[in-house]
Amino acid sequence: MGCFGRSRKSSKRSEINKEVNKDTVKIKKTIGGTSVGKSDKKDDQTQTSSDSTKVSPYRDVKDEGGGGVGKEDQLALDVKGLNLNDQATGKKAQTFTFQELSLATGNFRSDCFLGEGGFGKVFKGTIEKLDQVVAIKQLDRNGAQGIREFVVEVLTLSLADHPNLVKLIGFCAEGDQRLLVYEYMPLGSLEDHLHDLPSGKKPLDWNTRMKIAAGAARGLEYLHDRMKPPVIYRDLKCSNILLGEDYQPKLSDFGLAKVGPSGDKTHVSTRVMGTYGYCAPDYAMTGQLTFKSDIYSFGVVLLELITGRKAIDNTRVRKDQNLVGWARPLFKDRRNFPKMVDPTLQGQYPVRGLYQALAISAMCVQEQPGMRPVVSDVVLALNFLASSKYDPNSPSSSSRRNPSFHKDKDDDDKRPNLVKETESEDQ
């Protein structure tokens, strides 16, 4: 499994190269993987790579932080260096000085440390002048991910505004310091609630899982269908779904986002980036990124929510290490479905809801991208599942025998097509 970056965690993103047929597959080796704002010609350069594990170091943009450049100008310089349009360079996001952020975190004190990813460390802090608790992500200057992601993150989140996307409050681009300031998400990431739970921590219940899935799908729908230009996220995974009060999910980390194909194009060609286990096989093989690449990743997250298993789990026997590889043969027969559900739910789930959720996930992770549903259909189906509350205490709610959705009498008419499709063999 690919595991790069400095973190101890296993689900860090990286450049994903040719595990299969690595000598013959051409990859895009360029710094031009970014195109929020405009397309980047360098993206189309292709080169054969023999190194299947390297994270691209963005060497040619690293040294831009020049002395004597004002903080406001520094982002503009980053943008220019990356050949992006300087449109929307953070009009909604404010700039902070390094001193302000240092003050906010008690000089990045270890007890403010929240976690660490490929970009760098994340700290909790309080911005006094805003009277707001925030999460501050500090670019690791020796890290593999870098200024390009910083800029794309600022540009994407400055253009975006949706309750299921994390809010960027501001940034600091002072000298060679790069920091991002986000709204603080009190419940951390979905990964923290799904995998490797400390003893005594309660697993998420079925309704919360469906709520998180539906909210994450709505965030993705906003990126795909409402943003102008539309955006492919490219980094959907449990650690990038952050949770607010009451488990309201928000997508985070837009450093890999790409503007989707325009006109009659079906894909954008790019270096393959992402996280093993979540990356669509068609994209990994060809470098052709489509909206359906995100749908695949979403299907993996949904499968994690249902099964409680990790996208990649090296502690399992080899054939079961990849979640989709484990699930595919089981998807073929619905009698397997109850065996797939997270055992920590202890049987507390609605049978029909389980079948439908698994069927949606199976559609999303199909090998052929054209067979995967569009995000609006996934949203309709999951909104329906999330609103069909399961009550484990209801006398009629033995999960095995009796699906315990609270149904309105005209629910049948309200069921979205994707849900009806999943029910066709379920009678």
Ligand X SMILES: Nc1ncnc2c1ncn2[C@@H]1O[C@H](COP(=O)(O)OP(=O)(O)OP(=O)(O)O)[C@@H](O)[C@H]1O
In a 13 Å sphere around the CA of 316, the CA atoms on its Cβ side amount to 13
Pairing of strands 94-95, 168-174: parallel
Q: Does 275 bind Mg ion (CB under 5 A)?
A: no
Contact of 216 with 371, CB cutoff 8 Å:
no
Site for Mg ion in 253-272 (CB under 5 A): 253
Q: How far is 170 from 153, CA to CA, in rounded Å?
A: 11
For Mg ion, the closer CB: 169 or 362: 169
Site for Mg ion in 107-166 (CB under 5 A): 117
For Mg ion, the closer CB: 219 or 373: 219
Angle, CA 63 vertex, CA 8 and CA 40 arms, to 5°: 85
Site for Mg ion in 191-230 (CB under 5 A): none
Contact of 353 with 401, CB cutoff 8 Å:
no
For ligand X, the closer CB: 182 or 355: 182
DSSP 277-298: TTS-HHHHHH-EE-HHHHHHHH
For the CB of residue 122, give the shortest distance to ligand X in the complex, in Å: 4
Residue 13: name its binding partner from ligand X, Mg ion, none (Cβ under 5 to 8 Å by kind): ligand X
For ligand X, the closer CB: 119 or 355: 119
Q: How far is 37 from 31, CA to CA, in rounded Å?
A: 15
409 in a labelled binding site: no
Q: How far is 237 from 114, CA to CA, in rounded Å?
A: 18
For the CB of residue 359, give the shortest distance to Mg ion in the complex, in Å: 29
Q: How far is 105 from 313, CA to CA, in rounded Å?
A: 34
Catalytic residue selected from 40, 140, 235, 294 = 235
Q: How far is 415 from 381, CA to CA, in rounded Å?
A: 8
DSSP 187-226: T-BHHHHHSSPPTTPPPPPHHHHHHHHHHHHHHHHIIIII
CA dihedral 175, 176, 182, 186 (to 10 degrees): -130
Positions touching ligand X (CB under 6 A) are 9, 12-13, 114-119, 122, 135, 137, 166, 182, 184-185, 188-189, 192, 239-240, 242, 252-253
For Mg ion, the closer CB: 7 or 422: 7
Is 294 catalytic? The answer is no
Contact of 251 with 216, CB cutoff 8 Å:
yes
Residue in the shown chain whose Cβ atom is closest to ligand X: 117
Q: Does 33 bind Mg ion (CB under 5 A)?
A: no
Binding-site size, Mg ion (CB under 5 A): 3
Residue 184: name its binding partner from ligand X, Mg ion, none (Cβ under 5 to 8 Å by kind): ligand X
Residue 185: name its binding partner from Mg ion, ligand X, none (Cβ under 5 to 8 Å by kind): ligand X
Q: Which of 11, 145, 240, 307 binds Mg ion (CB under 5 A)?
A: 240
For the CB of residue 198, give the shortest distance to ligand X in the complex, in Å: 14
For the CB of residue 235, give the shortest distance to ligand X in the complex, in Å: 6
Q: Token pair for residue 69?
A: 């450049």
The residues annotated as belonging to the active site are: 235
Query: Could you tell me which residues are annotated as the binding site?
Result: 137
Query: Could you tell me which residues are annotated as the binding site for ATP?
Result: 137
Residues in contact with Mg ion by CB under 5 A are: 117, 240, 253
